[in-house]
Structure 1
Amino acid sequence: MESRITKNVFCTYTGDESKADTTIFFISGNPGLISYYHPFLSLLAKHLAADQGEGAKNESTFPESGSETSFRIYGCSLGGFEVAEQSQNDPPSEQSFSSSSFNANGPQGKNESDESGPRLYDLEEQICFVQGKLNKLMRTISSGKKQKVILIGHSVGTYMAMEILRRHRENTTEPQSDGADNSPDFDIIGGIMLFPTVMDISASPSGQKLTALLSIIPQFALVVSFFARLLTFVLPDSILKSAIRTVMKNPPPHALETTFTFLKSPGGVRQALHMAADEMYTITTDKWSDDIWGVSSTRDPVARLFFYFGRNDHWVAEKTRDEIIALKGCTSKDGLGPKMFVCEEGLPHAFCLKHNEIMTRKVTGMIGEIVSS
């Protein structure tokens, strides 16, 4: 796949494209517009290229300089958030997976497009959408080496990443019922979960507020999206951008433009709230076995995992975070489990707005540990 950066797709390389045998596959949070993460992913490519060239001078632990390797960094907008900008060479849009990738309760079921606007994706359908994008990407890669993948998720993207880890492992270890296997052959060697909302999201401060609103206004997503569309129709673009700038406290240009595009899109606001409502009812208890978490010594873990939590994260309850760290975090006693960190720099949940430099340095170090292990 050629390098390109659009509102819907981010794809670049840290070196020679023909030598890229490791794909860093990024899964965004909600709202799922990949352009919110363009500076983060661009800086990540820059730091990875620098660390590969200079060996282990920086925080990461990469192989010695001169290594014949390159990273492919890829991310795309989630289903329902794409804007009208695709070229013919883009990976298939969500319609390409509507008949084969989703389960029986997918697009043909309750969340198919209705008369009031574009069809809406719930969390399960987003997981299928993202996994379909990953599989399609890996099929397009022609290389003599077996490809490796490192998943990076942010916010609800971490839940999707964990589910993709589980489903990929089950698909590669269990025979298909019909004897056929159309999945591409690649290994997921690592996962980096940033501000992870993997359990009990409704217990978080923002989760409690949203749950209360949903109980009071059952059609909350429809109501809010209607008023958002009304405002974007009535207000001139310049005034709308000024309002965004005020509410977001003077965001950087990429965040301002992405939010403007998001609000002006036909179904973006409703999609975000529809998905958020489903998150409240889906992201509850721990859904993954010990071998997925890497805390079991009876089976090889599917990947080396890193979790980076925030302090006072409005989407992750402090109690939930502490329980995850206590139950699943790597301990010096047995060395099993994900490495877990709690941010000491005060980074916000939405780090991609103004804190990309410090976050990319941390993620570069984690990637270095994964590829050198």
Structure 2
Amino acid sequence: MTTQLPAHQGYQTTIADTMADTMAGAVADAEAEVAAMRLQRFPHELPTVYYDVAPSPDVPEIGMFFLVPGNPGLPQFYGPFLLRLRDLLPGWRLVCVSQAGGCASSTGPPEARRPVIGLDAQVVHKVAVLTRLLGAHGYLDTDRKVVLAGHSIGAWMVQQMVVALAAAGNRVPVSQAVLLFPTVRDIAQSPSGVRLTRLLGVAPWLPQAVATLAGGLRALPATPARWLVAAVMGGPPPHALEAAYDLAATPAAVAQTLGMAAEEMALVAAESPAVRNGFWPAWAERSPAGAARAVVAAERTGAQIAVFFAPSDHWVADRTRAEIMSDHGVHDHVYFAVVEGSSHAFCVKESELMAEQVAAVVV
């Protein structure tokens, strides 16, 4: 039963209607705030855009949360996630950098077609961007905290970054790693990986063919083109629709996305010795602060490595998830969570849920 409020000025309203209007207004406000976020071009030889959300001026800056997105690698998908983290993590600078080449048409002049920027080059790119941003914001050789977070293939890149930074002497004060729905091993054995591998096996020309079709989407009027993208995505929220439309209408970005996906199927297989020995073991051996965090890892807050899975993930096979948790769950400094209500593409509709999960482990 719906409870009615007293009539006022010739009309009646209800509690349910009021709540619905309030929620709709809050969603609209949030989407407007996302739309107002400043997406910047990063000065790098490879096409790069990024968000750099500074903490409130009245709060001392205590750390940087550096997010590496999944493929296709557009920061625009992560706007609501970053804004919710801003509320939950006062004092933290929030950065999300695109995959190199993951620049859609709305961020500037369309990029010319280029060879696919592969996984190894992407890792080098992320280390360079991170180091330059840390230098610009006064983080190098300090005790300020740096959290490296990665979504999907971005989680694999974060693992490689930790290993590479340690090998280089590590002036970067990495305090934690957060892996969101990580595709860090045997991606080709996941349900979607199996399908994509088979498809590429019979149609290796597919990435370039789809990129060519994307040029046709650019020729359509914007409104019907957006309707088409929305229909394919099943009615996404505005921020995700705009990001997907920008991607789909940019042939160079489409070719980069699919070309890198093909490389992921081939290269992201067994866990490398470098990751097994250089990422998962306690960083306490290299950082006294890490030893203190490891003590409270069982309570999740302070875990040096936090890993979040979905109950069912079409890019992470159930067996792969079980193997990762079995292999590395023995470490006290590693926290694993299977989050009910989450999915691999959390940044489309589950940003608030995952922001709350992540904020609970960041210290």
> TM (normalized to structure 2)?
0.77
Aligned mates of 2:217, 2:264 — CA distance in 1: 27
Q: Secondary structure at the match of 1:267?
A: helix
* 1:168 positional shift: 0.5
8 Å contact 1:244–1:256 — kept in the other structure? yes
2:258 aligned partner: 273
Structure with larger Rg:
2
- Cα contact 1:14–1:46 (8 A) shared by 2: no
Give the match for residue 75 of structure 1: 96
Deviation at 1:21, TM superposition (A): 3.7
The structure 1 residue matched to 2:179, chosen from 181, 193, 198, is 193
Contact 2:217 2:248 in 1 (8 A): no
Letter in 2 for 1:125: A
Q: 1:350: which partner in 2?
A: 345
The separation in 2 between residues aligned to 1:317 and 1:86, in whole angstroms, is 35
Alignment length (residue pairs): 302
Per the TM alignment, residue 366 of structure 1 is displaced from its structure 2 partner at its CA by 1.1
Residue 289 of structure 1 deviates from its aligned partner by 3.0
1:323 lines up with 2:323 in the alignment: yes
- Tell me if structure 2 keeps the 8 A contact 1:149–1:188: yes
What is the alpha-carbon distance in structure 2 between the residues aligned to residue 43 and residue 297 of structure 1? 30
- Structure 2 matches for 1:1-373, cutoff 5 A? 5-6=38-39, 8-16=49-57, 19-49=60-90, 70-83=91-104, 117-142=113-138, 145-172=142-169, 185-233=171-219, 235-287=220-272, 288-294=275-281, 304-329=304-329, 331=330, 335-343=331-339, 345-367=340-362, 371=363
1:81-104 alpha-carbon deviations (Å, 9 max, x no partner): 1246779xxxxxxxxxxxxxxxxx
Quick check: 1:14–1:45 contact (8 Å CA) kept in 2? yes
Separation (CA, whole Å) in 2 of partners of 1:286 and 1:275: 19
| Structure 1 residues without counterparts, runs of 5 or longer | 50-69, 88-112, 174-184
SS of residue in 2 equivalent to 1:129 = helix
Aligned-residue CA RMSD in angstroms?
2.6
1:205 partner amino acid: P
**8 Å contact from structure 1 (residues 79, 129) kept in 2:** yes
- Which has the larger displacement, 284-293 or 308-317? 284-293
Query: Offset at 1:209?
Result: 0.6
CA distance in 1, matches of 2:212, 2:58: 45
Shift of 1:327: 0.8
Contact residue 296 and residue 336 of structure 1 kept, 8 A = no
Counterpart residue identity of residue 280, structure 2: W
Shift of residue 74, structure 1, vs aligned partner: 0.8
Contact 2:105 2:250 in 1 (8 A): no
Q: Give the letter for the 1:204 counterpart.
A: S
Higher relative contact order (CA 8 A, sep 6+): 1
Paired residue type of 1:136 = R
Distance in 1 (CA, whole Å) between partners of 2:37 and 2:210 is 34
**Alpha-carbon spacing, 1:86–1:243, altered in 2? closer, same or farther (3 Å):** closer
Are 1:33 and 1:77, in contact at CA under 8 Å, matched by a contact in 2? yes
Residue type matched to 1:359 in 2? Answer: M
Which stretch has the larger CA shift, 353-362 or 284-293? 284-293
Distance between the aligned counterparts of 1:126 and 1:195, measured in 2?
19
Distance 2:145 2:120 in 1: 25
The answer to whether the Cα contact below 8 Å between 1:13 and 1:71 also exists between their aligned partners in 2 is yes
Identity, % of aligned positions:
30
Render the CA deviation track for 1:336-357: whole Å, top value 9, x for unaligned: 35211112x2311101111111
Q: Secondary structure at the match of 1:14?
A: coil
Cα 1:86/1:238, change in 2 over 3 Å: closer
Residue 10 of structure 1, CA deviation: 1.1
Q: Against the structure 1 CA distance between its residues 16 and 145, is the aligned structure 2 distance closer, same or farther, given a 3 Å change threshold?
A: farther
**SS of alignment partner, residue 80 of structure 1:** coil
Deviation string, structure 1 residues 141-180 (Cα, Å, up to 9, x no partner): 236944321011100000000000110111117xxxxxxx
Q: Is the 8 A contact 1:21 1:146 kept in 2?
A: no
The runs of 5 or more residues in structure 2 that have no matched partner are 1-35, 41-48, 292-302
SS of residue in 2 equivalent to 1:366: coil
Deviations 1:275-329 (A, max 9, x none): 0000011111112133420269876679810110112200000000001101111
Q: For structure 1, which segment, 274-283 or 133-142, has the greater mean C-alpha deviation from structure 2 after superposition?
A: 133-142
1:17 shift after superposition? 8.0
Match for 1:351: what amino acid? F
SS at match of 2:360: helix
For 2:235 and 2:350, locate their aligned partners in 1 and report how far apart those are by CA, in whole Å: 14
Q: Distance in 2 between matches of 1:242 and 1:216?
A: 31
